[in-house]
Amino acid sequence: MLSPTRRAFLILGALAGSHLLCACTGGHHEDGDGEQHRADQDLPLRTRAVAATDALLAGYDGVLAGPGAAGRADLLKQLRAEVVQHRAALAEGLPTATGTPAASAAAGSPTTAPATTAPPASAPASTAPVTTVAALAAAERQTATARLADLAAASPALAKLLASVSAAGAVHAGRLGDTGPVGPATAPATAAPSGAASPTGPTTAPGTAPTSAPAGAPAGGSAAPSAQPSALPSTGAAGAQSALAAEHAAVYGYGVVCAFLPVGKPRDDGRTDYLAHQARRDGWQRLLGAGGASPTPAAAGYRLPLQVKDGATAGQLAAHIETRLTTVYADLVGTGTGPLRLQAADALRESALRAQHWGAEPPALPGLPAPAIGSPSGSVPAPTSASAAASPSH
């Protein structure tokens, strides 16, 4: 087991670097014609996404109007309000007839969702009315999967939004009782056997790893990047380096988490997540190495954003790690292309699910800046500045 007295850590330093990186790589000047072209390309994708969201809103309204909402009305209304936020974000730039929901929908009251000008081509095929919580949960999960179909064709900004909305849909599905897989599975590349040595440390979790994932753990997606291009584009390589640095920090952080979690299911869950982050770390190292880059090494140590002294604070640290990782992977969705973009979306979803599992209050749009979606509350402590609690300890 990793020692909690080891020079401790956390992920925020890696994340602060990723924000600076994103600003440098994503803020280049484009002329008006280029921006207009990208906006025009996104119009059909946004229209499909809004139509799929309208179908979900109609499903929420159907369940809320029936007997299936008994005892769960508060949760259903909360999730529906988040779907309304998704619709507003997805409808940005669309014609008024398609982009503006009915006043009652914006207020969050049950109503039939407005029709759109194009069918939801990437939405689930079923058109049967949704009248039960189980059917609504399945619709959330299926729609979350369908969102990923347009990632490759979307502009970087819309791709980040689609990935975030998809992650939120997976969280919604889980909260409603559907923990089935979301997204096309991608196998890890040349995965090392359990317990084998890796370039940056052991590949076994502290103690004995469990044989199955914990309840509420992410389902579907990949445990590590699988594509191995001969060379990565500069922006994709830089984003993958930021993701690798964040996973280095997460691995060390989960060593501290596991040291303080009580024996039993909590520690087993921590071990499972520890292994998952080792797999992600090793996958990014392989991907970068195969693409001709030198993988970012782990720092000598990292400062914790809070004092971990018991199981409760260990859970807060785990939630903090996962919440901050959603931002790293949302940025990578924007800078990456092709398979790298989908892998980043998978990782974003998995971290959003793990953050909720460890007690974080899920935001409406995981990984995106809070000012764009209001001010979601959460149980994860936030630092007063990136530099104050974020820098590696050398």
Evaluate whether residue 162 is within a structural domain: no
Phi–psi pair at 294, nearest 5 degrees: -90, 115
Q: Same domain, yes or no, for 279 and 347?
A: yes
Q: Same domain, yes or no, for 249 and 335?
A: yes
Chain centre distance of CA 150: 17
In this prediction, residue 386 carries a pLDDT of 28
Element (H, E) at 102: none
The residue range of the domain holding 100 is 43-153
The answer to whether the CB of 390 falls within 8 A of the CB of 316 is no
Chain centre distance of CA 362: 10
What are the pLDDT digits (tens) for 211-260?
334 334 444 444 455 444 446 777 789 999 999 999 999 999 999 999 99
Q: List all residues 6 or more positions away from 168 whose beta carbon is below 8 Å from its beta carbon.
A: 82, 86, 144, 352, 362, 363, 364, 365, 366
Determine the 3-state secondary structure of 44 from DSSP.
Answer: helix
| Phi/psi-derived region of residue 359, left when phi > 0, alpha when psi is between -120 and 50, beta in every other case | left
Q: Same domain, yes or no, for 211 and 310?
A: yes
Q: Same domain, yes or no, for 340 and 392?
A: yes
Evaluate whether residue 160 is within a structural domain: no
In this prediction, residue 101 carries a pLDDT of 52
Phi–psi pair at 2, nearest 5 degrees: -65, 140
DSSP state of 336: -
Q: How many other C-beta atoms lie within 10 A of the C-beta of residue 156?
A: 19
Residue ending a domain, among 127, 153, 179, is 153
Separation of alpha carbons 42 and 59, rounded Å: 26
Q: Same domain, yes or no, for 335 and 385?
A: yes
Longest alpha-carbon distance in the chain: 60
Evaluate whether residue 158 is within a structural domain: no
Q: Same domain, yes or no, for 336 and 263?
A: yes
Residues of the chain scoring pLDDT < 70: 1-39, 97-127, 184-231, 370-394
Domain at 329, CATH number: 1.20.1260.10
Evaluate whether residue 182 is within a structural domain: no
pTM attached to this predicted model: 0.75
Q: Same domain, yes or no, for 142 and 224?
A: no
String of DSSP letters for 182-243: -S---PPSSPPPTT-EETTEESS-SSPPPSSPPTT---SS-SS-----SS--HHHHHHHHHH
H helix and E strand count, the chain: 12, 2
In this prediction, residue 254 carries a pLDDT of 96
The answer to whether the CB of 278 falls within 8 A of the CB of 2 is no
Q: Same domain, yes or no, for 200 and 256?
A: yes
What are the pLDDT digits (tens) for 67-118?
888 889 999 999 999 999 999 999 998 887 555 554 334 434 444 333 333 4
Q: Same domain, yes or no, for 119 and 230?
A: no
Q: Same domain, yes or no, for 289 and 352?
A: yes
Q: Same domain, yes or no, for 225 and 363?
A: yes
Q: Same domain, yes or no, for 48 and 23?
A: no
CA-wise closest residue to 10 among 261, 321, 274:
321
In this prediction, residue 18 carries a pLDDT of 42
Number of domains in the chain: 2
Cα–Cα distances (Å) from 81 to 86, 108, 141, in that order, read 9, 5, 17
The answer to whether the CB of 167 falls within 8 A of the CB of 367 is yes
Evaluate whether residue 226 is within a structural domain: yes
